[in-house]
Amino acid sequence: MKYIAVIGAGTMGNGIAHVFAQNGFKVNLIDISEEALNKGLATITKNLDRMLSREKITVSDKENTLNNLTTFHKIENGVKDVELVVEAATENIALKLKIFKELDEICPSDTILATNTSSISITQIAAQTNRAEKVIGMHFMNPVPIMKLVEIIRGYNTSEEVTRTIMDLSRQLGKVPTEVNDYPGFIANRILMPMINEAIESLFNGVAGVEEIDTVMKLGMAHPMGPLQLADFIGLDVCLSILNVMHDGFKNPKYAPCPLLVNMVTARKLGVKSGEGFYDYSESRKAEKVASQFS
């Protein structure tokens, strides 16, 4: 397998494309937005430059990685000759179902269709196609070039051969694939999201402040990042979407999103991506931090 398509040039998509391209795969990076494609390529280049400065790669490695990448605006142009498609579009079920229906109609019959979804049913996605045995979850962690884990999720009809192929492919990328079954949230988010939601509930109930909650989890539980800061980096809208999928899938009130989370997303306080979440990431705040270093 050498020819890959990645749909979506956002944070996860460009990271996935980067890792495949750096490991010698020819990658078609697809996004309907020219701005997203340019930003995605700029991010990949910046990350390669950082690796180069740390002597983790050579100039030749950087050039080869960038040469392995080709961008497309239309799905039909970017997937017609590939052996694997990895969908990394927004975590929106209607959008993903639409994309997979289209992919099934366009792609060669032997192309494997993977999704980077962090919570949506692989079986439901596969049902939009006539190749359910070739549909699988390939859930990378953010930031993709650094994080080793790939959650490999088998749908109800995913074949053993396809599962084995994707497990082996993940190892070729230097990742550690872990196979799980198809239930809402899989394993990573089934454990992570209730913890984040409980941290938000604790804040909502006035048990402790933002920094206090994160400090307890960092220093007391050896987490590299507190749950509220992590939620900001994931995106509060993404956290809410995953919790809603789990709440709907299990019909269990323990997965119901905290009202504070719902209100923050409604107010577009989404974390790092919007400049404000549980913490302030605005330019003015950055300027204050720089100034404080010299005061």
Consecutive 10-residue averages of pLDDT for the chain (295 residues): 96 97 98 96 97 96 98 95 96 95 97 96 98 98 96 98 98 98 95 98 98 98 97 96 95 97 98 96 61 39
pLDDT of residue 154: 97
Question: What is the predicted pLDDT for the residue at 286?
Answer: 56
pLDDT of 282 reads 87
> Which active-site residues does the annotation give?
118, 139, 151, 189
Please state the separation of Cα 267 from the chain's center in Å.
23
Name all contacts of 102-110 with Cβ < 8 Å and 24+ positions apart.
102/75, 103/75, 103/79, 103/129, 104/128, 104/129, 104/130, 104/131, 106/75, 106/76, 106/79, 106/80, 107/79, 107/80, 107/82, 108/80, 108/81, 110/83, 110/134
Rounded to two decimals, the pTM is 0.89
What CA–CA distance (Å, rounded) separates 233 from 226?
11
Q: What CA–CA distance (Å, rounded) separates 21 from 17?
A: 6
Q: Are 166 and 152 in contact (CB under 8 A)?
A: yes
